[in-house]
Chain A
C-alpha cells in the first residue's frame, strides 16, 4: 500500500503521463496513424476527438500495447507500451469502444474477472457503482444491450483505483442519466489525482469534463490545447445593424465572409481583429451589435472534414 502511495506521488510530479510524437501505424497499405503527436499531463482529463476512422481507437490500442507502432516515439507512464505493457496495465483502467463480453458470464462475474486480474475491486465501490449505474449483475452478458455491456466495462474500470483511465467513447450507448453518473465518476477519479484520456463524440461531455483536447483527423493531430485557446484561434461571428460601408469592413485584416442583408451586416472576425473592427464601426451609426463566439460544434466541424466546407460553399 505504501509502495502504491509513493508511486502515486511520483506520478503526480511527472508531467506527460502519455507522450507520443510522430507516431505512425500502418495496416498493410492503410496508414491509420500518420505522425500523431499527443501529450497528456498528470492529473488532467484530456479529450480526444476526431471523426469516425480518424485513428482514435488505433491510437488507444497502441498506447495499451495491443498493437505495435510502426514508427515514432511513444511512452505511457514513462514506459514503452509494447515492451512494458503488463507494468503499465497494472496502473491503468480501460474501456474499449466496442465492448464484447463473454456471453455465458454474468455481469457481476465479468466485473470480478476484470478487476480480479488487477488485484481485486473495492467491494464498497463496486456495490455503489452497480447501484448508480442501475446494472443487474446476475444477468448473462448474452442478454445485455450495448449500453449495459458498456456499464459492465465502466463499473470494472471505476471499481478500483488506477492512475490512468483510458476510455474509448464510453458513453455512446448510455442515456443522459447514466451519462451524468459517468461524469461524476470521472470527476471523482480526477479529484483523487488520476489522469483520464477520454475519446468522445459527445461535445457537451467534453466541454464539461476536459481540461485540454486533441482533435485528430486522418491520423494526425490537427488541434491541441485548452478549449479557451482553441476558441481564441477561431473567428467570432458579428451581426451589426449599421449604415457602415461594407467594403471598408471587408478590407480590414482578419475579417472574412462579409455580406449585407438590408440594413444588417454579417461577417466573421478573428480575435486579434475585433479591436480594429470596433474602431472602424465607431464612425458609423450602429443600432445593434451581436458577437457570437464559436461553439464547440463549430470548432469541431471545422476540423471534421471537407463535408462542412463544401456545405458552406454551397450556401
Chain B
C-alpha cells in the first residue's frame, strides 16, 4: 500500500501541485484584491446591495452575508475555489483509476499480489491528503490576504470538504464510464451541475431585511458547493453542512470500492457507444477531418460566448436602473477599457466584450494547436502519406480557427443584443463583438507562425501569448502598466466601446492585414519543414 501511494504521488508530482497552488493563489489574490479595491465597509456594502438586487450577480458569485471583509471575499470567491477543488479531485481520480485501466497499467499492477481494490484505496487516500493540503493552503492564502485566521481556517476546511465530496463522485464516475474521457466528462458535468444548482438557488433566493444578505432557495441545498457556501466561514461559521459533503464523499467512495471489487477489469456499467461503420461526406478531406474533430469545441466556446453576452446584456440593463453606485463602479470599469469614457452601461458592455475577445482568441489558437497535436501524436503521418499538401492540411486548421473565433464573437454579440431588450442596442452589440475579431485573428496568426517555425513551442508559447493578452487587456489599466507594454497586446488596438459611430477602426484594419500576411507566410514556411514528433 505504501508503495502504491508513493508511486501514485510520484506520477502526480507536477499536476497536483499546480492545481493546489493555483487555487491557493486565487484565494490570496481575491482577498488582497478586495482589500485594495473596496477598503471600507461602506463601499463593500454598497456593492453588495447592488448584488442582492441582481439575481445574475448572485448566480455568478454566491450568497452575500454582510459587508465585512471576510464575508465579502467568501461571497465573491468561494464558489470558484470549490469548483477548482472539485475539478482537481475528479480529474485526479480518473487519472489513476479509469485512465490506468484503459491504458493497461492496471493489468500490470493487477498481476502483483495486491487486492483488486488496493489501487483505488491508495488513490482515495492520496486524494483526501491532496484536499487537506489544498484546504490548508487556501486558509493560508486568506490569511496572507489579511483575513481573520479562524474564518480563514473554516473557509479552507469548507473548500477541502467540497473537494472530498467530488473525490468520491469521481471514483464512481470511473466505475461507470468505459473511457477516461467519458469519466472526466461525467465528473466535469457533475461539477457543472453543482455550480448551476447553487446558481439557480442563490439567484432565486430572498433578500433578508438588512438587504445585505440572501437566504437561498432549495436548489442550493442540492449542491455540495452550496453546502460549502452555507458554512459562511467568516460570519456564522456553521460546520454542519460539511457533514453532508463528507457523507456524500464517503458514500460514493464506498459504492465505488464495492463495484471495483466485483467487476471484471476493463468493464464498465455504461457500455461504450459504437460509431458509424462508414465515413460520412465530411470525412472526405483533411479540412473535413479538422472540422469533425473540432466542431464540439467550437460549439462549446460559442455557448460560453453566448452566456457571457447574455450576462453582459442583462447586467447592463439592470445597472442602468441602479443609479446611486454609478460613480464607484464607473471608476472601476473604466480601468478595464482602453482609452474610453462613455456611459456606464457602455463601459460595462465593452469590458465584457473584451473578455469575449479573449475567448475568441483562445478558441482560435486552440484550433491551430490541434494541428500540432496531430503531428506529435503521429496521426499527421498517416494523413500526409495521402495526396494531401502540407499547406492545405494546415490551412484546414486555420480555417476552423477563424470559424471558431467568429462563432464566439457573433454568439456573444447576438446574445448581448437580444438580452438588452432595447432594439437600438442590438446592432451596436453585434458590431462591438465583431470588433474583437481582428485581435483574435492576430493570436491565430501567431500560433500558426509558431507551428510553422518552432513546432515544439506551439502549445506552450501559444497559450502563454493568450494569457498575456488577457492580463494586459483586462488588468493593464488596473496594474498601471506602461503604455508601451499595453500597446503590445492586439486587444489594445481594437475599437472598444459601443456605440461605434466615432470609433477608430484603423487599428483593426492593420491587425487584419498583418494577421493575414503572417498566416500566408506561415503556410508557405510550413511547406519547408519536415514532420517532427
Instruction: List residues of chain A with CB under 8 Å of any chain B CB.
Output: 61, 64, 66-68, 85-87, 89-90, 92, 94, 96, 98-106, 108-114, 116-118, 137-140, 142-143, 153, 166
Which of B9-17, B53-61, B272-280 sits within the interface?
B272-280
Is B179 part of the contact surface with A, judged by Cβ < 8 Å?
yes
Question: For the complex, what is the distance from the CA of A57 to the CA of B530, rounded to whole Å?
Answer: 15
Which residues of B271-298 have CB atoms within 8 Å of chain A's CB atoms?
Answer: 272-280, 283-286, 289, 292-293
B379: interface (CB < 8 Å): yes
Q: A64-B385, A92-B385, A117-B386 are in contact. Are A112 and B283 (CB under 8 A)?
A: yes
Distance to closest chain A CB from B94 (angstroms): 15
Known contacts A100-B378, A102-B289, A102-B293; is-contact A66 B279 (Cβ 8 Å) = no
The answer to whether B384 has its CB under 8 Å from any CB of chain A is: yes
Query: Which of A87, A99, A104, A117 has most B Cβ within 10 Å?
Result: A117
- Asked if B40 is at the interface (CB within 8 A of a chain A CB), the reply is no
Which of A66, A100, A109 touches B276 (beta carbons < 8 Å)?
A109
Q: How far is the CA of A64 from the CA of B531 in the complex (A)?
A: 11
CB < 8 Å neighbour of A96 from B179, B279, B284, B382: B382
Chain B residue nearest to A98 (CB atoms) is B378
- A108 B275 Cβ-Cβ under 8 A: yes
Chain B residues with CB under 8 A of A94: 382, 385
Partner pick for A86 among B179, B285, B387, CB 8 A cutoff: B387
Please name all residues of chain B whose beta carbon is closer than 8 Å to the beta carbon of A111 when the two chains form the complex.
Answer: 279
Q: Are B387 and A117 in contact (CB under 8 A)?
A: yes
Query: In the docked arrangement, what's the CA distance between A140 and B289, Å?
Result: 15
SS class, residues of chain B in contact with chain A: loop
Main secondary structure of the interface of A (DSSP, over half): mixed
Q: Looking at the assembled complex, report how far the CB atom of A77 sits from the nearest CB atom of chain B, in whole angstroms.
A: 13
Nearest residue (CB) in A for B286 is A117
B381 touches A96 (CB 8 A): yes
Q: Is B518 an interface residue (CB 8 A)?
A: no
B377-418, CB < 8 A from A: 377-379, 381-389
| CB of A110 to closest CB in B, whole Å | 8
Asked if A102 contacts B388 (CB within 8 A), the reply is no
Nearest CB in chain B: distance from A197 CB, A: 13
B382 partner residues in chain A, CB cutoff 8 A: 94, 96, 99-101, 114, 153
- Pull 12 A–B residue pairs with CB atoms less than 8 Å apart, ordered by A: A66-B384, A68-B530, A86-B387, A96-B381, A99-B382, A100-B382, A103-B181, A106-B276, A109-B280, A111-B279, A112-B283, A117-B386
**Is A108 within 8 A of B278, CB to CB?**
yes
8 Å CB interface, B141-165 against A: none
State whether B530 touches A67 (Cβ < 8 A).
yes
Closest Cβ neighbor of A123 among chain B residues: B278
Q: Which chain B residues lie closer than 8 Å to A67 at the CB level?
A: 530-531
Q: Contact at A113–B389, with CB atoms within 8 Å? A: no
CB-based closest 3 A-B pairs: A112-B279, A106-B275, A117-B386
Which residues from chain B contact A102 at a C-beta distance below 8 Å?
Answer: 289, 293, 379
**Identity of the chain B residue whose Cβ is nearest the Cβ of A108 in the assembled complex:** B277
**CA of A140 to CA of B273, assembled, Å:** 8
Of A61, A101, A109, which is within 8 A of B279 by CB? A109
